[in-house]
Structure 1
């Protein structure tokens, strides 16, 4: 199995893309730490997955926008499994706001979770991986960062993730850590449920493959980036969007 005995941490693991990635990696033999801020949703998801897929999945409740919470989560993974081979930063939030009407608190929350949260998780994971001399960091951005088709705070935060990846990849390569970003297009997740149906249909119409992505589409690319098959790939932003936009 491609990820046999690998230790993988996934944020935003309670639903959507994160849940799909947890399931995919566990089935492929990994020990998976599923991290989410919503304990009830997370525990229900992990219990269901442990009952229905092979693998070892543990639930860790954490707020990735808080340094102490991230530090504790990473420490818990290392204490349980002894190492951390890969972290996949999926957790994200958004809200529908016209630019001139965006409240300060909406801007602050989206940046805090999507960009600062990714930074905090990467920083703490890199400390562990640097001591090991190996590791893989996978961030998740959005095609909205390429097209600008979305609320300003969301597009800005996801564009920031792509820049963060490039910088980290250069700095961490000499210590054996690869860093890449997956850039999904519209994907069939609970977050999409808040978007008006008219907007959803417009997005699908703009996708050459004429469908929304599924969580497993993203999980398969994460699997490739987290294994030795991609050992010479770092600093890349990889679009998984059905041809909606190019990098």
Structure 2
């Protein structure tokens, strides 16, 4: 069995990678450079792919940056320091990103004679990111099928009905090397601990009674403190 995976090097897509391998899939992982402000996740994806010895392509589509430059990840806005469910997190939306990346992945799947494309959309993303919702998965699956009718491709998002904490729980059982993954939107030397994705990551590990292995003990204690303070503000 073969699958194409949109692989960012973050918690969710790395867990999905390990999940697919556990199910016997040979995974062709695609990591995209589309003009994001830093390359920390891209670097993480390379390390994880090398560790596993999987087929991995880093696809540079930077030329589209000027077309989709907007918000805090590809535009000039500051990264909001709030939970993922807060309205301010809409600044982290990259216009039409998943549709663009999945369309390219679908074309690559046809070229390689692969019938399944995966991405790690999950329930915790539902309120802010329209292209992570079950409704989007359904229509994008239909679009990929119709666009490649003679060589049909299926889109699958097996985490779409589960929370981030459940993904981390699964990953801990699968032995995912979370110390190699990267989530922070800031992209500095160490995670900022207070952006939306850092807060969500801390929460996911806390709910599994586990410490984030990416962080030192001091950083973890600080991350928990920041998380609890933010939680009390809501």
Shorter-chain TM-score tier: 0.3 to 0.5
TM-score of the superposition, structure 2-length normalised? 0.47
More strand by share: 1
